[in-house]
Structure 1
Amino acid sequence: MPELSLWPIRLAGWAVRCLPNRFHSPRQCLNALMPAVPLLALLCLVLSIVATSHSMAQSADHSQTHALDGQAHHHSHASAGEVQWEGSRQGIAYSEFNHHLAGVFLLLIGLGEVRQALGWTSMAWTRALLPGALTVAGIFLLIWSDHDAWPVGSMTFAQTFGGHDPEVLQHKIYGILALTVGLVEWLRRVGWSDRAVWAAPLPLFAIVGGLMLFEHSHGEHPAARKIVLHHIMMGTMAITAGLSKLISGWRSRQVLVARSHWDLLWATLVVAIGLQLLIYSE
Protein backbone atom coordinates (compact mmCIF):
# COMPACT_ATOMS: atom_id res chain seq x y z
CA MET A 1 0.00 0.00 0.00
CA PRO A 2 1.62 3.31 -0.99
CA GLU A 3 2.66 5.61 1.80
CA LEU A 4 0.49 8.69 2.09
CA SER A 5 2.09 12.06 2.78
CA LEU A 6 0.66 15.28 4.14
CA TRP A 7 3.04 17.25 1.91
CA PRO A 8 1.93 17.40 -1.73
CA ILE A 9 5.01 19.44 -2.53
CA ARG A 10 8.56 18.36 -1.72
CA LEU A 11 10.17 20.06 1.30
CA ALA A 12 13.34 20.62 -0.67
CA GLY A 13 11.71 23.14 -2.98
CA TRP A 14 8.73 24.13 -5.05
CA ALA A 15 7.36 21.80 -7.64
CA VAL A 16 7.29 24.63 -10.14
CA ARG A 17 10.37 26.83 -10.46
CA CYS A 18 9.58 30.50 -10.11
CA LEU A 19 13.09 31.85 -10.68
CA PRO A 20 15.78 31.20 -13.29
CA ASN A 21 18.60 28.82 -12.43
CA ARG A 22 21.05 31.62 -11.72
CA PHE A 23 18.91 32.84 -8.77
CA HIS A 24 18.60 29.53 -6.89
CA SER A 25 21.17 30.40 -4.21
CA PRO A 26 22.33 33.61 -2.51
CA ARG A 27 25.78 33.29 -4.06
CA GLN A 28 24.28 32.92 -7.54
CA CYS A 29 22.05 35.95 -6.92
CA LEU A 30 25.05 38.04 -5.92
CA ASN A 31 27.02 36.92 -8.96
CA ALA A 32 24.11 37.76 -11.26
CA LEU A 33 23.56 41.19 -9.73
CA MET A 34 27.23 42.23 -9.50
CA PRO A 35 27.35 43.71 -13.06
CA ALA A 36 24.57 46.11 -12.11
CA VAL A 37 26.34 47.43 -8.99
CA PRO A 38 28.54 49.97 -10.84
CA LEU A 39 25.50 51.27 -12.73
CA LEU A 40 23.53 51.69 -9.49
CA ALA A 41 26.49 53.42 -7.84
CA LEU A 42 26.87 55.80 -10.77
CA LEU A 43 23.13 56.50 -10.73
CA CYS A 44 23.32 57.40 -7.04
CA LEU A 45 26.33 59.62 -7.76
CA VAL A 46 24.49 61.41 -10.56
CA LEU A 47 21.41 62.01 -8.42
CA SER A 48 23.52 63.33 -5.54
CA ILE A 49 25.44 65.67 -7.86
CA VAL A 50 22.26 67.04 -9.40
CA ALA A 51 20.60 67.45 -6.00
CA THR A 52 23.67 69.17 -4.54
CA SER A 53 23.94 71.48 -7.50
CA HIS A 54 20.25 72.34 -7.26
CA SER A 55 20.50 73.16 -3.55
CA MET A 56 23.63 75.26 -4.15
CA ALA A 57 21.84 77.14 -6.89
CA GLN A 58 18.89 77.80 -4.58
CA SER A 59 21.18 79.16 -1.87
CA ALA A 60 22.83 81.36 -4.48
CA ASP A 61 19.38 82.71 -5.34
CA HIS A 62 18.95 83.98 -1.80
CA SER A 63 22.39 85.59 -1.79
CA GLN A 64 21.50 87.43 -5.01
CA THR A 65 18.34 89.09 -3.63
CA HIS A 66 20.03 92.34 -2.66
CA ALA A 67 21.93 92.45 -5.96
CA LEU A 68 18.69 92.07 -7.88
CA ASP A 69 17.06 94.87 -5.88
CA GLY A 70 19.98 97.16 -6.56
CA GLN A 71 19.98 96.23 -10.24
CA ALA A 72 16.24 96.95 -10.53
CA HIS A 73 16.69 100.32 -8.81
CA HIS A 74 19.50 101.16 -11.23
CA HIS A 75 17.46 100.14 -14.27
CA SER A 76 14.49 102.22 -13.14
CA HIS A 77 16.54 105.34 -13.90
CA ALA A 78 17.59 104.14 -17.36
CA SER A 79 15.78 104.88 -20.58
CA ALA A 80 14.07 102.13 -22.55
CA GLY A 81 16.93 101.98 -25.07
CA GLU A 82 19.49 101.50 -22.28
CA VAL A 83 17.82 98.52 -20.61
CA GLN A 84 20.40 95.74 -20.13
CA TRP A 85 19.68 92.44 -21.89
CA GLU A 86 21.58 90.35 -19.32
CA GLY A 87 19.24 89.72 -16.41
CA SER A 88 16.13 91.03 -18.16
CA ARG A 89 13.09 88.79 -18.52
CA GLN A 90 13.65 88.37 -22.23
CA GLY A 91 17.35 87.67 -21.74
CA ILE A 92 16.75 85.11 -19.01
CA ALA A 93 14.04 83.35 -21.04
CA TYR A 94 16.28 83.21 -24.13
CA SER A 95 19.26 81.85 -22.18
CA GLU A 96 17.27 79.29 -20.21
CA PHE A 97 15.60 77.98 -23.38
CA ASN A 98 19.00 77.46 -25.02
CA HIS A 99 20.35 75.65 -21.95
CA HIS A 100 17.27 73.44 -21.64
CA LEU A 101 17.45 72.55 -25.34
CA ALA A 102 21.12 71.63 -24.89
CA GLY A 103 20.03 69.42 -21.98
CA VAL A 104 17.60 67.54 -24.24
CA PHE A 105 20.37 66.97 -26.79
CA LEU A 106 22.75 65.67 -24.11
CA LEU A 107 20.12 63.36 -22.65
CA LEU A 108 19.59 61.83 -26.09
CA ILE A 109 23.35 61.41 -26.47
CA GLY A 110 23.73 59.97 -22.97
CA LEU A 111 20.93 57.42 -23.34
CA GLY A 112 22.40 56.21 -26.61
CA GLU A 113 25.84 55.91 -25.02
CA VAL A 114 24.41 54.04 -22.01
CA ARG A 115 22.93 51.42 -24.36
CA GLN A 116 26.27 51.00 -26.07
CA ALA A 117 28.19 50.87 -22.77
CA LEU A 118 25.92 48.12 -21.44
CA GLY A 119 26.37 46.13 -24.62
CA TRP A 120 22.69 45.92 -25.52
CA THR A 121 22.26 44.68 -29.07
CA SER A 122 18.71 45.99 -29.45
CA MET A 123 17.96 49.55 -30.56
CA ALA A 124 21.14 49.79 -32.60
CA TRP A 125 19.74 52.94 -34.21
CA THR A 126 20.63 54.84 -31.01
CA ARG A 127 24.22 54.91 -32.28
CA ALA A 128 23.07 57.78 -34.48
CA LEU A 129 21.86 59.85 -31.51
CA LEU A 130 25.28 61.22 -30.61
CA PRO A 131 26.39 62.45 -34.05
CA GLY A 132 22.87 63.59 -34.90
CA ALA A 133 22.39 65.57 -31.69
CA LEU A 134 25.86 67.13 -31.89
CA THR A 135 25.34 68.17 -35.50
CA VAL A 136 21.94 69.76 -34.83
CA ALA A 137 23.20 71.44 -31.64
CA GLY A 138 26.21 72.85 -33.49
CA ILE A 139 24.04 74.34 -36.23
CA PHE A 140 21.64 75.78 -33.65
CA LEU A 141 24.45 77.46 -31.70
CA LEU A 142 26.02 78.92 -34.82
CA ILE A 143 22.72 80.58 -35.71
CA TRP A 144 20.75 81.25 -32.51
CA SER A 145 23.25 81.13 -29.63
CA ASP A 146 22.81 84.87 -28.92
CA HIS A 147 20.02 87.25 -29.86
CA ASP A 148 22.35 90.05 -30.96
CA ALA A 149 25.05 87.95 -32.69
CA TRP A 150 25.50 87.23 -36.38
CA PRO A 151 23.54 86.00 -38.33
CA VAL A 152 20.29 86.83 -36.47
CA GLY A 153 21.41 89.92 -34.52
CA SER A 154 22.87 93.34 -35.10
CA MET A 155 26.50 92.26 -34.64
CA THR A 156 28.49 91.71 -37.82
CA PHE A 157 30.38 88.52 -38.64
CA ALA A 158 33.66 90.22 -37.68
CA GLN A 159 32.28 91.41 -34.36
CA THR A 160 30.78 88.01 -33.55
CA PHE A 161 33.92 85.97 -34.26
CA GLY A 162 36.46 88.68 -33.49
CA GLY A 163 36.00 88.63 -29.72
CA HIS A 164 33.91 91.81 -29.49
CA ASP A 165 31.87 89.94 -26.84
CA PRO A 166 33.77 87.01 -25.20
CA GLU A 167 30.54 85.27 -24.16
CA VAL A 168 29.21 85.31 -27.72
CA LEU A 169 32.54 84.06 -29.08
CA GLN A 170 32.54 81.13 -26.65
CA HIS A 171 29.04 80.15 -27.73
CA LYS A 172 30.10 80.18 -31.38
CA ILE A 173 33.21 78.13 -30.57
CA TYR A 174 30.98 75.56 -28.89
CA GLY A 175 28.87 75.49 -32.05
CA ILE A 176 31.89 74.96 -34.33
CA LEU A 177 33.28 72.20 -32.10
CA ALA A 178 29.92 70.43 -31.77
CA LEU A 179 29.31 70.51 -35.52
CA THR A 180 32.83 69.30 -36.32
CA VAL A 181 32.79 66.46 -33.79
CA GLY A 182 29.28 65.48 -34.88
CA LEU A 183 30.41 65.11 -38.50
CA VAL A 184 33.49 63.12 -37.44
CA GLU A 185 31.31 60.77 -35.39
CA TRP A 186 28.96 60.31 -38.35
CA LEU A 187 31.92 59.15 -40.44
CA ARG A 188 33.14 56.82 -37.70
CA ARG A 189 29.79 55.23 -36.97
CA VAL A 190 28.87 54.50 -40.57
CA GLY A 191 32.25 52.84 -41.07
CA TRP A 192 33.85 55.39 -43.39
CA SER A 193 36.74 56.00 -41.01
CA ASP A 194 37.95 53.42 -38.50
CA ARG A 195 41.37 54.84 -37.67
CA ALA A 196 42.03 55.24 -33.95
CA VAL A 197 42.99 58.90 -34.26
CA TRP A 198 39.42 59.85 -35.25
CA ALA A 199 38.11 58.58 -31.90
CA ALA A 200 40.00 61.35 -30.08
CA PRO A 201 37.93 64.45 -31.07
CA LEU A 202 34.88 63.40 -29.03
CA PRO A 203 36.56 63.08 -25.60
CA LEU A 204 38.81 66.06 -26.34
CA PHE A 205 35.71 68.11 -27.12
CA ALA A 206 34.26 67.16 -23.72
CA ILE A 207 37.50 68.12 -21.95
CA VAL A 208 37.98 71.41 -23.81
CA GLY A 209 34.30 72.28 -23.41
CA GLY A 210 34.52 71.58 -19.68
CA LEU A 211 37.60 73.78 -19.29
CA MET A 212 35.88 76.59 -21.21
CA LEU A 213 32.97 76.49 -18.76
CA PHE A 214 35.30 77.56 -15.95
CA GLU A 215 35.98 80.78 -17.86
CA HIS A 216 32.47 81.25 -19.23
CA SER A 217 30.89 84.47 -17.96
CA HIS A 218 27.47 86.04 -18.43
CA GLY A 219 28.71 89.58 -17.93
CA GLU A 220 26.93 91.79 -15.42
CA HIS A 221 24.16 89.31 -14.77
CA PRO A 222 22.40 89.75 -11.40
CA ALA A 223 22.52 85.96 -10.84
CA ALA A 224 26.19 85.66 -11.84
CA ARG A 225 27.17 83.63 -8.76
CA LYS A 226 24.44 81.07 -9.35
CA ILE A 227 25.44 80.73 -13.00
CA VAL A 228 29.07 80.20 -12.01
CA LEU A 229 28.04 77.35 -9.69
CA HIS A 230 26.17 75.67 -12.54
CA HIS A 231 29.17 76.03 -14.84
CA ILE A 232 31.63 74.66 -12.27
CA MET A 233 29.50 71.55 -11.75
CA MET A 234 29.01 70.95 -15.48
CA GLY A 235 32.65 71.70 -16.28
CA THR A 236 33.89 69.21 -13.70
CA MET A 237 31.58 66.48 -14.99
CA ALA A 238 32.48 67.22 -18.62
CA ILE A 239 36.23 66.95 -17.95
CA THR A 240 35.74 63.71 -16.00
CA ALA A 241 33.56 62.31 -18.78
CA GLY A 242 36.13 63.19 -21.45
CA LEU A 243 38.96 61.58 -19.50
CA SER A 244 36.83 58.46 -18.98
CA LYS A 245 36.17 58.22 -22.71
CA LEU A 246 39.88 58.62 -23.48
CA ILE A 247 40.79 55.87 -21.01
CA SER A 248 38.07 53.63 -22.41
CA GLY A 249 39.32 54.08 -25.97
CA TRP A 250 42.92 53.41 -24.99
CA ARG A 251 41.99 50.38 -22.88
CA SER A 252 39.80 48.83 -25.57
CA ARG A 253 42.69 48.91 -28.03
CA GLN A 254 45.11 47.47 -25.49
CA VAL A 255 43.06 44.54 -24.16
CA LEU A 256 40.55 44.19 -27.02
CA VAL A 257 37.41 44.50 -24.90
CA ALA A 258 34.10 45.57 -26.37
CA ARG A 259 33.07 47.71 -23.41
CA SER A 260 34.24 48.74 -19.95
CA HIS A 261 33.17 50.55 -16.82
CA TRP A 262 34.89 53.65 -18.23
CA ASP A 263 32.35 53.68 -21.05
CA LEU A 264 29.56 53.47 -18.51
CA LEU A 265 31.06 56.32 -16.49
CA TRP A 266 31.29 58.44 -19.64
CA ALA A 267 27.67 57.75 -20.58
CA THR A 268 26.36 58.35 -17.06
CA LEU A 269 28.14 61.68 -16.75
CA VAL A 270 26.72 62.81 -20.09
CA VAL A 271 23.24 62.03 -18.76
CA ALA A 272 24.08 63.92 -15.56
CA ILE A 273 25.14 67.02 -17.50
CA GLY A 274 21.93 66.80 -19.52
CA LEU A 275 19.88 66.72 -16.31
CA GLN A 276 21.91 69.63 -14.96
CA LEU A 277 21.08 71.66 -18.05
CA LEU A 278 17.39 70.79 -17.77
CA ILE A 279 17.21 72.32 -14.28
CA TYR A 280 19.37 75.30 -15.26
CA SER A 281 17.82 78.60 -14.25
CA GLU A 282 18.92 82.19 -13.91
Structure 2
Amino acid sequence: PRTDADRAWSEYNHHVSGLFVLLMGTLAIAHVSGRARWARHWPLALLGLAAFMLVRNDPGAWPLGPQGFWASMAEPTVLQHRVFVLLVVAFGLFEWTVRTRRLRSPRSALVFPLLCAVGGGLLLTHSHAGLNLKSEFLLEVTHAPLGVLGVVIGWARWLELRLAAPDDRLPGRVWATGLAVFGILLLLYRES
Protein backbone atom coordinates (compact mmCIF):
# COMPACT_ATOMS: atom_id res chain seq x y z
CA PRO A 1 0.00 0.00 0.00
CA ARG A 2 1.12 3.53 -0.77
CA THR A 3 1.92 5.77 2.15
CA ASP A 4 1.39 9.51 2.47
CA ALA A 5 5.14 9.92 1.92
CA ASP A 6 4.91 7.91 -1.34
CA ARG A 7 2.08 10.11 -2.57
CA ALA A 8 3.93 13.30 -1.60
CA TRP A 9 7.05 12.09 -3.44
CA SER A 10 5.02 11.30 -6.56
CA GLU A 11 3.13 14.60 -6.47
CA TYR A 12 6.38 16.54 -6.12
CA ASN A 13 7.84 14.68 -9.10
CA HIS A 14 4.77 15.48 -11.20
CA HIS A 15 4.85 19.14 -10.14
CA VAL A 16 8.51 19.67 -11.02
CA SER A 17 7.99 17.79 -14.29
CA GLY A 18 5.12 20.20 -14.91
CA LEU A 19 7.54 23.13 -14.61
CA PHE A 20 9.72 21.63 -17.35
CA VAL A 21 6.72 20.93 -19.61
CA LEU A 22 5.34 24.43 -18.98
CA LEU A 23 8.74 25.85 -19.95
CA MET A 24 8.71 23.78 -23.14
CA GLY A 25 5.18 24.91 -23.96
CA THR A 26 5.97 28.56 -23.30
CA LEU A 27 9.03 28.38 -25.54
CA ALA A 28 7.05 26.54 -28.22
CA ILE A 29 4.38 29.28 -28.10
CA ALA A 30 7.09 31.92 -28.48
CA HIS A 31 8.54 30.03 -31.44
CA VAL A 32 5.29 29.39 -33.33
CA SER A 33 4.32 33.05 -32.84
CA GLY A 34 7.31 33.93 -35.03
CA ARG A 35 8.65 36.38 -32.46
CA ALA A 36 11.42 34.27 -30.96
CA ARG A 37 13.32 32.13 -33.45
CA TRP A 38 15.73 31.06 -30.69
CA ALA A 39 12.82 29.40 -28.84
CA ARG A 40 12.94 26.54 -31.38
CA HIS A 41 15.45 25.01 -28.97
CA TRP A 42 12.59 24.15 -26.57
CA PRO A 43 13.21 20.37 -26.86
CA LEU A 44 16.46 20.83 -24.93
CA ALA A 45 14.33 21.40 -21.81
CA LEU A 46 13.74 17.64 -21.98
CA LEU A 47 17.39 17.20 -20.95
CA GLY A 48 16.66 19.07 -17.73
CA LEU A 49 13.58 16.92 -17.20
CA ALA A 50 15.68 13.78 -17.75
CA ALA A 51 18.26 14.95 -15.20
CA PHE A 52 15.49 15.58 -12.68
CA MET A 53 14.00 12.14 -13.37
CA LEU A 54 17.39 10.47 -12.93
CA VAL A 55 17.77 12.02 -9.49
CA ARG A 56 14.18 11.75 -8.24
CA ASN A 57 12.50 8.67 -9.76
CA ASP A 58 13.63 6.14 -7.18
CA PRO A 59 14.17 7.41 -3.62
CA GLY A 60 15.94 4.26 -2.43
CA ALA A 61 18.33 4.03 -5.37
CA TRP A 62 21.41 5.87 -6.55
CA PRO A 63 22.02 8.86 -6.60
CA LEU A 64 19.87 9.89 -3.59
CA GLY A 65 19.22 6.55 -1.94
CA PRO A 66 21.47 4.14 -0.07
CA GLN A 67 21.45 1.54 -2.86
CA GLY A 68 24.45 1.78 -5.20
CA PHE A 69 24.26 2.31 -8.95
CA TRP A 70 24.86 -1.30 -10.05
CA ALA A 71 22.80 -2.83 -7.25
CA SER A 72 19.87 -0.56 -8.08
CA MET A 73 20.05 -1.53 -11.76
CA ALA A 74 19.24 -5.11 -10.76
CA GLU A 75 15.75 -3.97 -9.69
CA PRO A 76 13.31 -4.09 -12.63
CA THR A 77 11.44 -0.88 -11.71
CA VAL A 78 14.66 1.12 -11.26
CA LEU A 79 16.03 -0.24 -14.53
CA GLN A 80 12.77 0.65 -16.26
CA HIS A 81 12.95 4.21 -14.89
CA ARG A 82 16.55 4.56 -16.10
CA VAL A 83 15.50 3.39 -19.57
CA PHE A 84 12.74 6.03 -19.52
CA VAL A 85 15.35 8.67 -18.67
CA LEU A 86 17.41 7.58 -21.69
CA LEU A 87 14.29 7.72 -23.88
CA VAL A 88 13.54 11.28 -22.71
CA VAL A 89 17.14 12.30 -23.53
CA ALA A 90 16.94 10.62 -26.95
CA PHE A 91 13.56 12.18 -27.70
CA GLY A 92 14.74 15.65 -26.65
CA LEU A 93 17.87 15.46 -28.79
CA PHE A 94 15.97 13.96 -31.72
CA GLU A 95 13.24 16.64 -31.70
CA TRP A 96 15.90 19.33 -31.28
CA THR A 97 17.64 18.08 -34.45
CA VAL A 98 14.27 18.28 -36.24
CA ARG A 99 13.57 21.80 -34.94
CA THR A 100 17.03 23.10 -35.85
CA ARG A 101 16.86 21.39 -39.27
CA ARG A 102 19.91 19.26 -38.62
CA LEU A 103 17.58 16.39 -39.53
CA ARG A 104 15.62 17.39 -42.62
CA SER A 105 13.53 14.32 -43.41
CA PRO A 106 9.81 15.17 -43.41
CA ARG A 107 9.17 11.82 -41.74
CA SER A 108 11.40 12.78 -38.82
CA ALA A 109 9.05 15.64 -37.98
CA LEU A 110 6.21 13.12 -37.56
CA VAL A 111 7.87 11.40 -34.58
CA PHE A 112 6.82 14.11 -32.09
CA PRO A 113 3.11 14.13 -33.01
CA LEU A 114 2.99 10.34 -33.17
CA LEU A 115 4.57 9.92 -29.73
CA CYS A 116 2.29 12.58 -28.23
CA ALA A 117 -0.84 10.96 -29.64
CA VAL A 118 0.21 7.44 -28.61
CA GLY A 119 1.30 8.63 -25.15
CA GLY A 120 -2.02 10.42 -24.71
CA GLY A 121 -3.88 7.30 -25.75
CA LEU A 122 -1.93 5.22 -23.25
CA LEU A 123 -2.81 7.68 -20.47
CA LEU A 124 -6.47 7.28 -21.41
CA THR A 125 -6.42 3.49 -21.39
CA HIS A 126 -4.36 2.52 -18.36
CA SER A 127 -5.91 2.25 -14.92
CA HIS A 128 -4.81 2.07 -11.33
CA ALA A 129 -7.06 -0.73 -10.16
CA GLY A 130 -6.26 -2.08 -6.74
CA LEU A 131 -5.74 1.28 -5.09
CA ASN A 132 -8.34 2.56 -2.67
CA LEU A 133 -11.32 4.13 -4.39
CA LYS A 134 -10.44 7.75 -3.57
CA SER A 135 -6.85 7.40 -4.81
CA GLU A 136 -7.97 5.55 -7.93
CA PHE A 137 -10.54 8.24 -8.70
CA LEU A 138 -8.01 11.06 -8.24
CA LEU A 139 -5.50 9.34 -10.52
CA GLU A 140 -8.10 8.72 -13.23
CA VAL A 141 -9.41 12.29 -12.97
CA THR A 142 -5.91 13.70 -13.46
CA HIS A 143 -4.83 11.23 -16.15
CA ALA A 144 -7.90 11.60 -18.37
CA PRO A 145 -7.39 15.30 -19.25
CA LEU A 146 -3.66 14.70 -19.69
CA GLY A 147 -4.45 11.86 -22.09
CA VAL A 148 -6.93 13.91 -24.11
CA LEU A 149 -4.49 16.81 -24.24
CA GLY A 150 -1.67 14.50 -25.39
CA VAL A 151 -3.82 13.32 -28.29
CA VAL A 152 -4.81 16.91 -29.17
CA ILE A 153 -1.16 18.05 -29.06
CA GLY A 154 -0.09 15.19 -31.31
CA TRP A 155 -2.78 15.64 -33.92
CA ALA A 156 -2.53 19.44 -33.93
CA ARG A 157 1.21 19.18 -34.60
CA TRP A 158 0.50 16.61 -37.33
CA LEU A 159 -1.97 19.05 -38.94
CA GLU A 160 0.56 21.87 -38.68
CA LEU A 161 3.05 19.74 -40.60
CA ARG A 162 0.51 18.70 -43.24
CA LEU A 163 -1.11 22.07 -43.94
CA ALA A 164 0.40 24.84 -46.03
CA ALA A 165 0.82 28.37 -44.72
CA PRO A 166 -1.22 30.21 -43.51
CA ASP A 167 -3.54 27.29 -42.65
CA ASP A 168 -0.82 25.72 -40.48
CA ARG A 169 -0.82 28.60 -37.97
CA LEU A 170 -3.87 27.61 -35.94
CA PRO A 171 -2.79 23.98 -35.40
CA GLY A 172 0.68 25.30 -34.50
CA ARG A 173 -0.78 27.51 -31.82
CA VAL A 174 -3.04 24.70 -30.58
CA TRP A 175 -0.27 22.15 -29.99
CA ALA A 176 2.11 24.68 -28.43
CA THR A 177 -0.59 26.02 -26.10
CA GLY A 178 -1.63 22.45 -25.34
CA LEU A 179 1.92 21.66 -24.26
CA ALA A 180 1.86 24.61 -21.84
CA VAL A 181 -1.55 23.55 -20.49
CA PHE A 182 -0.20 20.00 -20.05
CA GLY A 183 2.52 21.49 -17.84
CA ILE A 184 -0.06 23.41 -15.82
CA LEU A 185 -2.10 20.24 -15.31
CA LEU A 186 1.02 18.48 -14.03
CA LEU A 187 1.53 21.37 -11.60
CA LEU A 188 -2.00 20.74 -10.28
CA TYR A 189 -1.57 16.93 -10.11
CA ARG A 190 -2.88 15.30 -6.92
CA GLU A 191 -3.01 11.75 -5.62
CA SER A 192 -4.61 12.49 -2.27
Which TM-score applies when normalising by structure 1?
Answer: 0.57
Give 1:127's aligned residue: 40
**What SS is found at the alignment partner of 1:193?**
coil
Q: Which has the larger radius of gyration?
A: 1
1:136 alignment counterpart: 48
Give percent identity, aligned residues only: 28
| 1:93 partnered with 2:11 | no
How far did residue 259 of structure 1 move?
Answer: 4.4
With over 3 angstroms needed to count, the CA separation of the structure-2 counterparts of 1:157 and 1:182, relative to structure 1, is same
| Structure 1 residue aligned with 2:87 | 177
Q: For 1:228 and 1:104, how far apart are their aligned partners in 2?
A: 21
Equivalent position amino acid for 1:98 in 2: N
Higher RCO by CA contacts (8 Å cutoff, separation 6 or greater): 2
The answer for the alignment partner of 1:235 in structure 2 is: 147
Say which of 177, 182, 190 aligns to 1:268.
177
Q: Aligned-pair distance for 1:157? A: 2.5
Extract unaligned runs of 5+ from structure 2: none
2:75 equivalent to 1:159? yes
Q: Can you list the C-alpha shifts for 1:88-144, whole angstroms capped at 9, x where unaligned?
A: 232122111110111111111111111222222xx333222x212112213432443
C-alpha distance in 2, partners of 1:95/1:174?
A: 16
CA contact (8 A) 1:134 1:178 kept: yes
Amino acid at match of 2:73: F
Amino acid at match of 1:109: M
Q: For the residues of structure 1 that align with 2:127 and 2:64, how far apart are their CA atoms? A: 22
- The residue type equivalent to 1:217 in the other structure is H
Q: Give 1:185 deviation, angstroms.
A: 1.9
Match of 1:210 in 2: 120
SS at match of 2:175: helix
RMSD: 2.8
The residue that corresponds to 1:105 in the other structure is 20
Residues 125 and 114 (structure 1), Cα distance of their counterparts in 2 relative to 1, 3 Å cut: same
What whole-Å deviation, never above 9, does each CA across 1:20-54 have from its counterpart, x for those lacking one? xxxxxxxxxxxxxxxxxxxxxxxxxxxxxxxxxxx
SS in structure 2 at match of 1:91: helix
User: Within 2, Cα distance between the matches of 1:216 and 1:114?
Assistant: 32
- Partner letter of residue 200 of structure 1? L
Q: Runs of 5+ in structure 1 lacking a partner? A: 1-83
Q: 1:216–1:231: 8 Å Cα contact kept in structure 2?
A: no
Aligned residues: 185
Q: What SS does structure 1 have at the residue aligned with 2:119?
A: helix
Which amino acid in 2 is paired with 1:192?
R
Which letter does structure 2 place at the counterpart of 1:262?
A: P
Structure 1 residues 194-225: Cα deviation after superposition (integer angstroms, max 9, x where no partner) = 22122122112212221222315386365121
Q: CA deviation at 1:172?
A: 5.3
**Contact map agreement 1:234 1:273 (CA 8 A) in 2:** yes
Once the two structures are superposed, the pairs formed by residues 65-104 of structure 1 within 5 Å of their partners are 84=1, 86=2, 88-104=3-19
TM-score by length of 2: 0.81
The amino acid that maps onto 2:45 is A
Contact 1:210 1:239 (C-alpha < 8 Å) held by counterparts = yes
